[in-house]
């Protein structure tokens, strides 16, 4: 029983790291520009299909296709920002919600027409690593390692580079940043692009683990909302911790009860956090 629990916990933590990366893009965008991006789920799916097409059509290994997805993801994010978000940035929250929801529906509609709703999967194996009685799937282990590397790169980018400091300055006080000569419009576009890139890359990693369709984004978008509430809106590191908690729930709950209870417990936790600590585990009180 102990080895089963340990295996389930490790498996849950590995997928939890990737879930944290999924939510990181959502929480970064909210933290910088106070916009809830309802196009987040379809962008995750676009990342899945990007890696799938690079693998199936171009013959690239999935982690090589991830680089293509990263470049296209940041360009897509900048495009979405200037087309749909920039115009409603200072409008009431409902305007930005409707704008990003419109992008959501367009991606799903066009994607359904072109790609259908059939299941796809990236048939790629990296073998199995055995630690005693515990077997770790190579693709999950690699996905978790890549997600951690991306998280570390994001942290270093935000803390050590000039564009990263610009993003933190604009997130802290946009007006003061503009008075200091920081071009907030370009910085916000960059932040939205990076958030979109993170979502697309997380989707690419998930494609190596689980089958998917063009409609799979809704599940990951809901998980992202649970994670960012757990970790605290606007806190990328909190998103990683929230993802690990969600992954542990998904790993350990099926050991004791049916898997259908997993989403129930996730959303019970979501409601409890909203009631007890609405700012999240790492969020500051207003």
* 8, part of any domain: yes
Instruction: Please give the Cα distance from 10 to 233 (Å, whole number).
Output: 26
Q: Looking at residue 1, what is its pLDDT?
A: 67
**pLDDT above 90 (res 254):** no
pTM (whole model) above 0.85:
yes
Greater confidence (11 vs 3) lies with 11
3-state SS of the chain: helix, strand, coil percent to 5?
Answer: 75, 5, 20
* 285, part of any domain: no
Instruction: Please give the Cα distance from 232 to 224 (Å, whole number).
Output: 12
Q: Let me know the angle formed at the C-alpha of 229 by 244 and 72, rounded to the nearest 5 degrees.
A: 75
3-state secondary structure of 56: helix
Q: Which residue in 273, 12, 32 sits closest to 173, CA to CA?
A: 32
166-192 average pLDDT score: 91
* 130, part of any domain: no
Q: Which domain holds residue 176?
A: 2-117+136-276
Residues 6+ apart with CB under 8 A from 130: 136
Q: What confidence tens digit (pLDDT) does each residue in 134-173 have? A: 778 889 999 999 999 999 999 999 999 999 999 999 988 8
**In this structure, what DSSP letter does residue 58 have?**
S
* 124, part of any domain: no
* 211, part of any domain: yes
Residues 6+ apart with CB under 8 A from 103: 38, 39, 42, 80, 83, 84
Q: Give me the DSSP letters along 63-112.
A: HHHHHHHHHHHHHHHHHHIIIIIGGGTTS-HHHHHHHHHHHHHHHHHHHH
CA dihedral 169, 33, 219, 281 (to 10 degrees): 50
3-state secondary structure of 129: strand
Q: What is the CATH number of the domain that holds 167?
A: 1.10.3470
* 129, part of any domain: no
Domain count, the chain: 1
Report how far apart, in Å, the C-alpha atoms of 96 and of each of 30, 99, 220, 270 are. Answer: 11, 5, 20, 23
Q: Looking at residue 286, what is its pLDDT?
A: 47
Q: What confidence tens digit (pLDDT) does each residue in 197-251 have? A: 999 999 999 999 999 999 999 899 989 988 988 887 777 888 888 899 999 988 8
* 45, part of any domain: yes
- Output the average pLDDT for the chain: 89
Q: Please answer whether residues 143 and 205 qualify as being in contact, where contact means their C-beta atoms are separated by less than 8 angstroms.
A: yes
């Amino acid at each position: 029983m102990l080895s089963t629990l340990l295996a389930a916990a490790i498996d849950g933590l590995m997928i939890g790291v990737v879930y944290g990366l999924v939510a990181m893009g959502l929480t970064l965008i909210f933290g910088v520009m106070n916009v809830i991006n309802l196009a987040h789920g379809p962008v995750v799916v676009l990342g899945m299909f990007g890696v799938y097409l690079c693998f199936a059509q171009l013959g690239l290994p999935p982690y090589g296709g991830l680089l293509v997805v990263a470049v296209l993801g940041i360009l897509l994010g900048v495009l979405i920002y200037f087309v749909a978000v920039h115009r409603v940035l200072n409008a009431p929250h409902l305007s930005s919600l409707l704008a990003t929801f419109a992008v959501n529906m367009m991606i799903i509609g066009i994607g359904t027409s072109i790609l259908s709703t059939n299941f796809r999967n990236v048939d790629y194996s990296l073998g199995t690593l055995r630690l005693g009685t515990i077997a770790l799937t190579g693709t999950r282990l690699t996905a978790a390692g890549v997600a951690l590397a991306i998280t570390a790169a994001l942290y270093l980018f935000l803390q050590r580079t000039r564009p990263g400091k610009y993003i933190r300055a604009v997130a802290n006080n946009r007006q003061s940043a503009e008075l200091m000569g920081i071009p907030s419009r370009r910085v916000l576009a960059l932040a939205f692009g990076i958030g979109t890139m993170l979502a697309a890359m997380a989707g690419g990693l998930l494609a190596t683990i689980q089958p998917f369709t063009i409609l799979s984004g809704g599940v990951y978008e809901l998980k992202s909302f649970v994670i960012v509430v757990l970790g605290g809106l606007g806190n990328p590191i909190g998103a990683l911790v929230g993802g690990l908690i969600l992954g542990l729930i998904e790993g350990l709950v099926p050991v004791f009860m049916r898997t259908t209870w997993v989403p129930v417990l996730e959303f019970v936790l979501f409601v409890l956090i909203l009631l007890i600590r609405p700012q999240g585990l790492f969020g500051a009180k207003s």
